[in-house]
Chains A and B, each alone.
Chain A
Amino acid sequence: AQSVTQLGSHVSVSEGALVLLRCNYSSSVPPYLFWYVQYPNQGLQLLLKYTSAATLVKGINGFEAEFKKSETSFHLTKPSAHMSDAAEYFCAVTGYSGGGADGLTFGKGTHLIIQP
């Protein structure tokens, strides 16, 4: 069984400030971890993905995330927030159950607000 906890349903930062969105996961098998972003009235867009090749993962739009097994965390960061980063962010986990493309288990999401 897998689960994802995203701390903070809303996070507000000033434009130009550091963005930190927290994600902790639980998985009984080695996990694949993802961060997706959702803009209003749109589907989900992949930001980045962890697949055990490297613990620090770089994604699109300047985002990156670090996998920490000891802390079961996969927090998302961006050094300098931009107004266009305002959106809903989802952390997701999947594992191998023998069935191939397993369903993603998502966190509840974090709404990122950028203040001018």
Chain B
Amino acid sequence: KAGVTQTPRYLIKTRGQQVTLSCSPISGHRSVSWYQQTPGQGLQFLFEYFSETQRNKGNFPGRFSGRQFSNSRSEMNVSTLELGDSALYLCASTQGSQGETQYFGPGTRLLVL
């Protein structure tokens, strides 16, 4: 099976812009989770989508949003970008049950100037 794919791999934006990142889960996986990784804060959970519904959410401002499509692909959007949003954004997929292993994609590295 193909793994989790994320596009684009690298992105440069300026403050105030918005950005959309995409994640395609492993075939058959219905849950997609998003994480932000920064040197200062480490890995932090953003949100999780299952069957097109947000099921869990981390402690991030409303500028961070996401959605999931009927084919389980997910997008994450960040509006009004700030310098501190520069990070590696990782998505992970599972079939959606309790305690399952999350399989991670390679990430999208976002640089905000």
Residues of A within 8 A of B (CB): 32, 34, 36, 42-46, 49, 51, 90, 92, 94, 96-97, 99-109
Contact = CB atoms under 8 A, between A and B. Distances in A.
A103 B45 contact: yes
A100 B42 contact: no
Interface string B87-113: 000101010111111111111000000
Contact of A100 (B45, B90, B97): B97
Contacts, number: 74
22 contacts: A34-B101, A43-B90, A43-B105, A43-B106, A44-B104, A49-B101, A94-B99, A97-B56, A99-B55, A100-B50, A100-B97, A100-B98, A101-B50, A101-B96, A101-B97, A101-B100, A102-B48, A104-B33, A104-B45, A104-B102, A106-B43, A109-B42
Nearest to A90: B43
Interface residues of B, number: 30
B37 to A, nearest CB: 9
Q: Is the contact region of chain B dominated by helix, strand, or loop, or is it mixed? A: strand
Contact of B56 (A45, A99, A106, A107): A99
